Each structure stands twice: as structure tokens, then as C-alpha cells.
Structure 1
């Protein structure tokens, strides 16, 4: 059974249940209000008759003119002795006589239902000298009320039937409209499954705020993101294959050369070994960077420890001065003696190495590392070089994996195009931002802003 049919049936069943209780209440209140009014009239009439001192005036019953003037059509008046025998009675509807008399010792109201209608009775005790001597009973046939009640039941049944039909038809068409976006979603997903291509759910020109439209829009955004990730994955695989193929081809060529000729030529052997060692180192760097990018760690700070950034920056700069034989100047705000922040110190060190290493590769002049604090809540790290700079058209792509402005030159300098992608990943994990500013021939500036507390 489809979900549309289930909802239609459940809505119809719920509506019928509500109508049943509503109509039952209406019918009950109709009978109750009508009979209550009639009973009050009978009680008033019985009290009026009792005031005539019926035990002392039996002539009222012998001369019916005085009693019959109080009698209306479809009514009966009985005077019942303590032995439940009827002493006197007058009536205008013989159907009331079918109910046998009974003696009670208090005021009593009785409502009876029979095939020929509804009947109500009021019984009042009659006293003489403080002792009950009889019962005055007044009965009335509510034949009209019975007819009205049957008519009301017919109307309610007819209304219920019409409501059920309308609920079924309306529910069916309503669920069709309601489930149209879901049907489009199912159809689109089936088409994606069959064709293997990404598709969108068509949305109305004027978007509404309902949940199904939001579901369709969310699905389309998810498809866009999946398509983007799929394209990036394809590009990543293609770039990684290309980067791996080049050093492997060189290693294979020089290894083949060694096997054929290098054993008799010392110079050729030295050249081949140097090339193999160089390309092996390149492969090692590439593998390490790939492992960093495919890391499955949590997106928040890995260790979430508090550490002082200044010693890490000084030590990193000192290490790179030794390995590169270049000058790196560390500039720290004058009022900073220590700078504590929360995060992963090993990742922050890796971030500094990447940025300083890039600055050293593309500049032969002084490299500056600036560290400061903004608004007492943000740590700023800026690496400035005075090197060759970057073209404005290349700036938006620098954080793409394997992107290099000059592949031949970068390869000679040892780059694989993954450093800035890893740096961006580290900054994002720490909840910060990274910006690059550059101009050809004037150098490059990398500005990183990190929160002192990693959320």
C-alpha cells in the first residue's frame, strides 16, 4: 500500500471518528435539551394539580372538565394508590396506557423509548395531613421529538457519508499535490541510479517555505556538493597519477640505464644514482603530503591543548635558517612576552614550515614572520617574502591540490603543489582563515588568523 493511500485512509478515518463523536454529542444534546424543557413543564403542571388538594376533592376526577382543561394532546394524568393501582386517570393518547403504573415515595422523572416514540413521565407524591397517600403521574408522548430525532439521524448519516466521500476524494488529490515533490525526488534518484549522472529536482519559480520545497532545495544543494566533490576527486586522482608517474618514470629510466651502461661509466653511474635519490625524495614528500590530505581525523583541533606559540615560531624559524642558510626575521608585537592559544601545536608547526618554506623557495631576500594579537581573541601570523610574486589570475587557485603556477620551475625546486592545500586544511581545522596577497616581482604575503581558543 502506497504512502499516499495510507495517509488518505488515515485522514478519512480520523475525520469520520471526529464526525461520529461530534454527531453523537449533537444528538445527545438535542434530546437532552428538548426533553428537559418538556419535563420542566410537566413538573409545573403536577405542582399546580397538587395544590388543588386532590385527596379531599375526588369530584375533580368525576367531573373531568376541571382536569381536562389542563390536559393537552398526547398526554395522560393518573392518580395512583399505595398498592400501585390506578384510582383515577384521564388521557388524550392511549399509547401512554401501555406503561404500567408504579408507586414511588419521592419525585421521580422517567424517560422511556419505544418503537412508536419517546415518552416522558413525572411522578409527584401526594400528601394528606403530612402523610403520603398517593402518587400523581403525568405522562406525555414525544412523538414529534421521535420523528425529529429520526430525521436528525438521517441528516447526520447523510452528512457523514458525504463528508467521507469528500474526505476520500479531497485526501487523494491533496496527497497527490503534497507528494509531488517526493515523487520528483524518487524519480530523480532513480534516474541518477540508472544513468550515473547528477541531476536536480525541478523547483517552482516562486519558492515557498514548506518542508517539501526545503527538502527538494536541500537535495539539489547536496547533489551540487556531491558533484563538486566527485569532480575534485577525479581531478585529484588525475593530478596524483601524473605527479607519481613522472618520478617513477625517471627512476625506471635511470635504473634501466644503470643496468645497461653505468657499471662501466663512473660519471653516468653517479648521475643516475643522484637522479634516483632525488626522485625518491620527491616521492617521499609527495606521499607524506597525500597522507596529510587524506587524514581522517576529526575536524576540530586534534589535541585541544593550550600552548605558547612564540617558542614554536622561534624554533621553527631557527631550524629553517640552518637548513636553508637563509635569514628569517621573527617580528613579535612589543607587548607580547608569551602568546597562549588552544589547538594542536604539531599542526601549527607544520603550518609555519609550509609557509616559510614557500617563502624561501620563491625569494632570495629576507623572509619576515610576524606574530600578533587582534582584539585579544585572535592570533595573527603573517609570512612576508620579497620574491618573484604570483600573478593575480593564479591567486584563486593556489589552494587547489597539485596547482602550480610554473610546473617545470616548481618541480626543480621540489614542490608538488600540495603545501598550501595542507595549510588551508590546518587553518580550517583550527577555525581560522588564510589569505594570500601578491604582486608579480614584488613578493607575497600570507596572513593567517586563528582563534586563541579552538571551538
Structure 2
């Protein structure tokens, strides 16, 4: 059974349940209000008869002229002794005689329902000199009310049947309209599964603000993201294959050269071995960067460690200064003696190494590393160099994998174009953002902003 049919049946069943209770309440209130009005009239009539002092005037029953004026069609009047024997009785409807009278010592109301209609009886005690001597009973046949109640039941049944038919038909067409976006979603997903291509759901130009439209829009955004990720993956594989092929080709060429010609030529042999060692190191660095990039994408910062950023920054700068022989100046506010953060201290150190190493590669002057605590409790790190700079049109692509502004120069310096991509992932996993500002011939500034608490 389809979900559309299930919803139609459940809505129809719910509607019928509501109608059943509603119509039952209407019928009950109709009978109650009508019978109450009739009972009030009978009570008034009984009070009027009791004022006639019936125990002292038995002639009223013998001469019916005075009682007949109070007797209307479909009524019965009874005067009942304490032994429940009917002493006097006048009537205008023989159907009421089927119900025997009874002696009571207090006001009593009785409602009888039969196939002929509804019958009501009211009984009141009759007193003489403060003692009860009889019971006055007045009964009335509510034949019209029975007819009206049967008519009301028929109307309610017809209304229920019509409402059920309308609910089934209307519910079917309504669920068709309601489930149209879902049907499009299913159809689109099936086409994607068969063809392997990414497709969108067609959404109306004037989108209603409902959940199904939001579902379609979310699906389209998801498809865009998957398509973008798929394209990036293809590009990544192509770039990685290209980067791996280059050092492997060089190693293979020099190995062949070494085997054929360099065994007797010391200079050629030294050149071949140097090239093989250099390209092997390049290949090793590329492999390590690829693994590091994969690990960075998988890791998260849910279980961040608490650490002090300042010692990590100073130690990293000191180590790079020693290996490069270049000056790296670390600057922070004088009143900032400690900068506690949560996150991955190893990744933060790797982040600093990437940006400081790039600054050392592309500048000859000192490199500046500044750290400060912002007003919004974020940490700002700047790595500033005064080197060759980067063209403005290349800035948006610097964080792309394998992107290099000058491939020949970068290859000579050992870069593979993955450092900034790794750095960006580290920043994103810590809930921060990174930006590069640069001008040709003036240098480059890397601005990193991280929350104190890893998000």
C-alpha cells in the first residue's frame, strides 16, 4: 500500500470518527433539549391540576369537561392510589395505556423509547391535610419528536456518507498534489541511480513556504555539493596522478641512464644519483602531504585538548629560525602572558609551520609572527613576509589543491601545492577562517582567526 493511499485512508477514518462523535452529540442535545421543554410543560400542567384540590373534588374525574380542557391529543391523565391501583384515568392516545402507572412519594420523570416514538411520564404526589393520598401521573406521546429524530438520523447518515465520499475523493487528489514533489524526488533519484549523472528537481518559480518545497531545495543544494565534491575529487585524482607521474618518470629515466651509461662515468653517475635522491624526496613529501590532507579531512575537533598557544608559536618559530638561518620575530601584546585554547596542538603547530615555511621560501627579509586576543574571544595569528608577493588574480586559487603560482619555481623549491589546502582544512576543523592578503613586490600576510574553544 502506497503512502499516498495510507494517508487518504487515515484522513478519511479520522474525519469519520470526528463526524461520528459530532453527530452523536448533536442528536443527544436535540433529544435532550426537546424532551426537557416537553417535561417543563407537563410539570406546569401537573402543578395546575394539583391546585384544583383533586382529593376533595372527585367529580372532576367523573365530569370530564373540566379535565378535558387540560387534556391535549396524545396524552393520558391518571390518579393512582397508594396500592398502585389506577382510580381515575382519561386519555387521548391508546398507545400510552401500554405503560402501567406507578405510585411514587416524590416527583418522578420517566422517558420511554419505542418503535412508535418517544413517551414521557411525570408523576407527582397528591397531598391531603399534609399526608400523601395519591399520585398524579401525566403521560405524553412525542410521536413528532420520534419522527424528527428518525429524520435527523437519516440526514446525519447521508451527511456522513457524503462526507466520506468527498474525503476519499478530495484526499486522493490532495495527496496527489501534496506528494508531487516527493514523486519528483523519487523519480530524480532513480534517474541519478540509472544514469550516474547529477540532476535537480524542478521547483516552481513562486515557491510556497512549505516543508516539501524546502525538501526539494535542500535536495538540489545537496546535489550541487555532491557534484562539486565529485568534480574536485576527479580534479584531485588527475592532479595527484600528474604530480606522481613527474618524479616517477624522472627517477625511471635516470635509473635507465645509470644502468646504460653512468657505470663508467663518475660525473654522470653522480648526477643521476642526485636526481633520483631529489625526486624520491619530492615523491616522499608529496605522499606525506596527501596522507596529511586525508587525515585532516577525516579528523574533527570534538575532543580538543587545552593548550597554551604562545609556547607552541615561540618554539615553532625558534626551530624554523635555526634550520633556515633566517630571523623570525614573534610579537604579542605585553600583557598577554598566556593564551589558553582548546583544539589539537599538533595541528596548530603544523598550521604555523606551513605558513612560516611559505614566508621563508618567498622572501629574503625577516618573517613576522604576531598573535593577539580579539574582543570576541577569538585568537588572531598573522604571518607576514616582505617578499615577492602574489598577483591579485591568483589569491582566490591559492587554497586549491596542487595550485602553484609558478610551477617551475615551486618545484625547484620543493613545493607540491598541498600546504595551503592542508592549512585551510586545519583552520576549518577548528571552526576558524583564514585569509591571504598580498601584492606583487610588497609581500604577503596570512591572517588566521581561531576561536579559543574549538567549535
Q: TM-score, normalised by structure 2?
A: 0.95
Q: Deviations over 1:354-396 (max 9, x none)?
A: 1111112122233222233332723222222222221111110
With over 3 angstroms needed to count, the CA separation of the structure-2 counterparts of 1:156 and 1:339, relative to structure 1, is: closer
2:305 matched to which residue of 1? 304
Distance 1:434 1:284 in 2: 27
Residues 96-105 or 190-199, more deviating: 96-105
Q: CA deviation at 1:297?
A: 4.5
- For residues 25-424 of structure 1, the aligned pairs below 5 Å read 25-295=25-295, 297-300=298-301, 303-307=304-308, 309-375=309-375, 377-424=377-424
Structure 2 counterpart SS, 1:438: strand
Q: CA deviation at 1:262?
A: 2.5
Distance 2:375 2:76 in 1: 99
8 Å CA contact 2:371–2:382 kept in 1: the answer is yes
2:452 matched to which residue of 1? 452
Distance 2:341 2:19 in 1: 67
8 Å CA contact 2:200–2:220 kept in 1: the answer is yes
Distance 1:262 1:180 in 2: 74
Structure 2 counterpart SS, 1:358: helix
8 Å CA contact 2:369–2:383 kept in 1: the answer is yes
Q: CA deviation at 1:301?
A: 6.3
Distance 1:29 1:171 in 2: 31
Distance 1:366 1:228 in 2: 40
Distance 2:302 2:134 in 1: 98
Residues 124-133 or 225-234, more deviating: 124-133
8 Å CA contact 1:384–1:443 kept in 2: the answer is yes
Q: Deviations over 1:165-203 (max 9, x none)?
A: 111111111111111111111111111111111111111
Distance 1:453 1:9 in 2: 52
Distance 2:146 2:341 in 1: 88
8 Å CA contact 1:188–1:200 kept in 2: the answer is yes
With over 3 angstroms needed to count, the CA separation of the structure-2 counterparts of 1:376 and 1:166, relative to structure 1, is: closer
With over 3 angstroms needed to count, the CA separation of the structure-2 counterparts of 1:79 and 1:233, relative to structure 1, is: same
Q: TM-score, normalised by structure 1?
A: 0.95
Structure 2 counterpart SS, 1:394: helix
Q: CA deviation at 1:328?
A: 2.6
Q: CA deviation at 1:273?
A: 1.5
Structure 2 counterpart SS, 1:341: strand
8 Å CA contact 2:388–2:440 kept in 1: the answer is yes
With over 3 angstroms needed to count, the CA separation of the structure-2 counterparts of 1:121 and 1:343, relative to structure 1, is: same
Q: Deviations over 1:378-421 (max 9, x none)?
A: 32222222222211111100000110112122111100000111
2:435 matched to which residue of 1? 435
Distance 1:215 1:390 in 2: 43
With over 3 angstroms needed to count, the CA separation of the structure-2 counterparts of 1:22 and 1:271, relative to structure 1, is: same
Structure 2 counterpart SS, 1:36: helix
8 Å CA contact 1:301–1:344 kept in 2: the answer is no
Structure 2 counterpart SS, 1:300: coil
Distance 1:198 1:152 in 2: 60
Distance 1:179 1:381 in 2: 52
Q: Please give the root-mean-square deviation of Cα atoms over the aligned residues, in Å.
A: 1.7
8 Å CA contact 2:301–2:344 kept in 1: the answer is no
With over 3 angstroms needed to count, the CA separation of the structure-2 counterparts of 1:86 and 1:336, relative to structure 1, is: closer
Q: CA deviation at 1:128?
A: 2.7
Aligned length, in residue pairs = 454
Q: Deviations over 1:138-164 (max 9, x none)?
A: 111101111111111111111111111
Distance 2:325 2:341 in 1: 30
Distance 1:397 1:57 in 2: 118
8 Å CA contact 1:301–1:430 kept in 2: the answer is no
